[in-house]
Structures are given as structure tokens and as C-alpha cells.
Structure 1
């Protein structure tokens, strides 16, 4: 059924402005994926940014790996599946044959992801960013969360029953998250470090603030790239790399897990390929996009 599937993928920063006509896009904090069907969507003639492209069951496999957390920095991340479910809820899918196609794709991927997770991605350490933050903040009652994007939104539910100040640049997002999670808000331009523990959940540079950090402040940094040259020795700074090292003894263990998963992925994708071909009613004769 997925032989006509076409997937485009990018992790480039500029991907936020990229559009592929007729496709259905899904953006996370790490990547953007565009989903199309070759029966009604043409290959984009020109890409403004470099794109990875996957066709047919190769595309299905890539999507399965992503929602199972195999491409996440945090191996087996559970929150990416929650994002996928939210983005592919029936009410938000296109009201067309393509929307029905996406709904079937969603259901198939969720079923196969459950199989992968239950067999290979259990008991491998913390599998959510919020849970990871909570691990280091368990004794902290006052927390400043820097960022208003998807990562910050993932972490906020884990900070309940604490006094939380959300700091960011986007006033609209600050207001929305304040309403959703009942937290205090502050613009980054007005923020000064206090005695709260700090969680960094956005690619912002804090070099100008370092001299104002209070000694022994706990700083949990989820940035993949640290933008400051050196953090003060008196600050209890925990980098994302250090967090990952604490979850698994060596990178070799993560590699071994991924290697064990590969045969299962092969098997699941092969099963999908061998399924009887099923077409959405009317698509055999479709000659133009059904939007």
C-alpha cells in the first residue's frame, strides 16, 4: 500500500520556511518531514534547502524509525510518538482521499512502532526529555525554564507542583504556555539569574549572563551545541552530552540496541510490502489532486 509513498526530510535550520505543494508536513524541534503520494503529487522542481528523499517502503521504514525514537538524540524517545499522534489526529488531517491515506499510514506506523518499542526499547534508561529534566531537578522547588518551543512544552508537564518561571523571546508563545501550564513568564531581555534551578531548552547564548549566576545553581542544558566558551566552575552545570552519558554506559550500547532493532524493522516493512494492495475508493481513476 505504501509503494507510492514519498518522504522528504530536513534538519536544516531554514526548513521552517520550506513548503512542498500538496504535501503534509510534520515539524519537530529537530526535523521537518513532508509526506506526499506520487499518484497525485509531483516531485518538487526546486528545493530551497537540501532535502533527503525516501520512496515507497524505504520512506515507510524511515518514518517508523523516527516515531520509534531511533533517530532521536535520546534513544527511544517517547515524546516524538506523542507529537506524531497529535499532528495526525483525524480532525487536523486533510478532508480528502489524501487525508484518508494519511490516517491509514498513521495507524499502520503506530501499530508497528508499538511492536518495536515493546521488544527492543524497554528498560534502556530515561526516554523523555521531561523525565530527564525531572531526574536532575528532583530537589529543586524553584525553576527557570529558558525557551518557548516544542522542547520547552515537552518539559513543562514534568515541572508541576513547582514554582516555574518561563523565559523567552516570543511574547505570544509565552502567553499561550502560561495559560496552558499556569506558570510565570518573563521576556529574555528582562531576565536576570536568581537562585532558581535553570533548564535551557532553546538555542540561546547566555555568555552575557554567566557572571550573574549564583554559585551552586543547577543548570540543566538540553542544547546539542553549547554556545558559551566556558561555564563558571561554581555552577552545577549539566550538559546534554553528560546526561546521555549517564543514561548509557557507552555509545556502544546504543549502537548495539540499534543493530538489534534492524532485523525487526526489516521484518515489519517486508510484512507491509507483502500485504494485499489496497486502494482508497476512487484513487485508481484519479487524474488530479483531490483537495
Structure 2
């Protein structure tokens, strides 16, 4: 069965990828801040393959397994990629055209990833983007109010990391998504702030931006009011929606700062990561055999 899958990994902005690739009938598409993965049962032509790295068969499954385990991420072992896979899978299930082959491969992928993380990466994945963001905020404020900008998966992860010690406020474009996010945390008193109400934004000492955009949302004038007040602004968005010369010395932290922090942690994780990679190699071989046997039996 694995011999039927084709994977294209593109490390560029999703808005620069041809729309026809993102809308291929029956294809599973995962878009993150680091990459876009397109998984299909149709081979890509040479022009499309040139857009990124191409994998097929066992190599494609191997890449998927390393990716969902966070081993292809800049922040090794990060756990937020699992939620991104699950969200993309949920969206795939809503598609009118789905591939039974891809569905089965993804189901096995979740099972194998769980085994790898449980045996080798239990503590590795705790160093997520949102987890490092919390450390940055805690370095200045042990408690207080935090404004989260956005209502997607990163906003959800940020709430989970902050809700025990901080009062959570959310501001985002889509009121319906904000309300749905609030309902996921019935025991947390999450309050809303009107989108782009900058006068209200200034009242917060801690900001977490989870919105990625090619357009500037927070320009330099916003930070002129923000930075001199010993505030913290952590930008997790990709592409970055902020435009300012202020940096972490002024309390403005970008994704690069998060990754640099994670790089130090990565050096301490090398042995466990190597063990996980060996386990993945073994799992891929076993999974390929099992799926091939199951496919043969189904054909009889």
C-alpha cells in the first residue's frame, strides 16, 4: 500500500504554492509555519517536484513519521505538530473526495507516532513553541493578564500553557472562532477584546501573537507605545505580521528567538532523538510489510 503514496514537501510560503497543488482531488494537505506537505496517490510531475523535496513509498511514510514526531522541525521533538496533523486530518475527512489509501496510511501514522513519542520522546515534546513562550513571559511576569492574538491552533496551545497562572484575553478577526475556542475551556474565564482595538491592547503587559500574515498587522507605532513600558510581545506568527526595529532587548520576541532558545535545548536531546529515529526506521519497515500483507489479502 505504501508504494501508492507520493509526498511533496515544500518549504515556502503557502501563498506562493500553485493553487492547483493545494486543491488536488483526494490529496491530504498539511500547512504549518515551516512547510506545506501534499500527500497524494498521484505522482507529481517534474515541474512540481522541483518546488520542494519529493518522497514516495516507504520514504514518504518515513518522512511523515519523522515530521509528526517533531524530528523534521527546527525545534526538535516539538509537540504542536501533532495537533496540526490532527486538525488537517479532520479537515480531510470533510472533503468530498478522499483516498481510502491515504486515510489508512494516516490512521497508521497516528498509531506509530504515538508509539515513538511514548517510548522515546515523552519529555522532548514539552519544549514547544507555546511552552518557550510561557517561559519568556514568566521571566518578567509570574502572573497577570495576557492578551492572545488569534484563534487558531497556536492560540489554543498558548491558552493551555498560560491558563494556570494568567488571566487570558483573546482578540481575533473571527468572532465565531473566538467563541468556539472559549467554549473549549469552560473552566477558564477567557475574556475577549475587540479586534484591532489598539487602545485596549496597550493596557496589557504581555502579548502573544499567533497570527501569520503577509500583511503588517502590528506596525512600528504600536511598539513605540508597547516597548518602553517593560512589556513582552511574543510573535509566533508565520509569516510574521509585525514590522518593527525593536527586538528581544526591548521585549519583542520573534520566532527566530524561540528557535534559538530551542536550539540550546536540542543539544541536550540528541541521544533520545537518535533513538527515536532508529525506532522510526524499524516501524516503517514493519508497517510497510503489514500493509502489503493486508493489501494482498484484500485483493484475494
For the criterion TM > 0.5, the same-fold answer is yes
State how 1:1-291 maps to structure 2 within 5 Å: 1-13=1-13, 14=15, 15=17, 17=19, 18-37=22-41, 41=42, 43=44, 47=48, 50-88=51-89, 92=93, 98-99=99-100, 101-124=101-124, 126-138=126-138, 139-160=142-163, 162-169=166-173, 173-174=177-178, 176-177=180-181, 182-188=190-196, 190-191=198-199, 192-203=201-212, 204-213=217-226, 214-223=228-237, 227-231=243-247, 233=249, 235-247=250-262, 249=264, 252-253=267-268, 257-275=272-290, 276-279=292-295
Unaligned runs of 5+ in 1: 286-291
Give the secondary structure class of the aligned counterpart of 1:186.
Answer: coil
How far apart are the structure 1 equivalents of 2:104 and 2:168?
Answer: 40
Q: Distance in 1 between matches of 2:97 and 2:26?
A: 12
Q: What is the SS of the residue equivalent to 2:115?
A: helix
The structure whose residues are more often helix, as a share, is 2
* Secondary structure class of the residue paired with 1:187: coil
TM-score, normalization by structure 1: 0.75
1:11 and 1:32 in contact (8 A); partners too = yes
Structure 2 unaligned spans of 5+:
none
Q: 1:50, 1:268 → 2: CA distance?
A: 29
* Kept in 2: contact 1:68–1:113 (CA 8 A): yes
Q: CA deviation at 1:54?
A: 1.2
Distance 1:67 1:135 in 2: 24
Report the Cα offset of residue 82 of structure 1. Answer: 2.7
- Change in 2 beyond 3 A, CA 1:124/1:179: closer
Structure 2 distance, partners of 1:110, 1:147, is 27
Q: How far apart, in 2, do the equivalents of 1:135 and 1:9 lie? A: 31
Return the offset for 1:7. 1.4
TM-score (norm 2): 0.74
User: CA shift at 1:35, angstroms?
Assistant: 1.9
Asked whether the 8 Å contact 2:133–2:258 carries over to 1, the reply is no
Q: CA deviation at 1:8?
A: 2.1
Whole-angstrom distance in 2 between the partners of 1:88 and 1:251? 28
Give the C-alpha shift of residue 247 in structure 1: 4.8
| 3-state DSSP of counterpart to 1:278 | helix
Question: Using a 3 Å threshold, how does the CA distance of structure 1 residues 185 and 6 change in structure 2: closer, same or farther?
Answer: same
How big is each residue's C-alpha offset from its partner over 1:33-63, in whole Å with a ceiling of 9 and x where there is no partner? 22222xxx35468649924321111110111
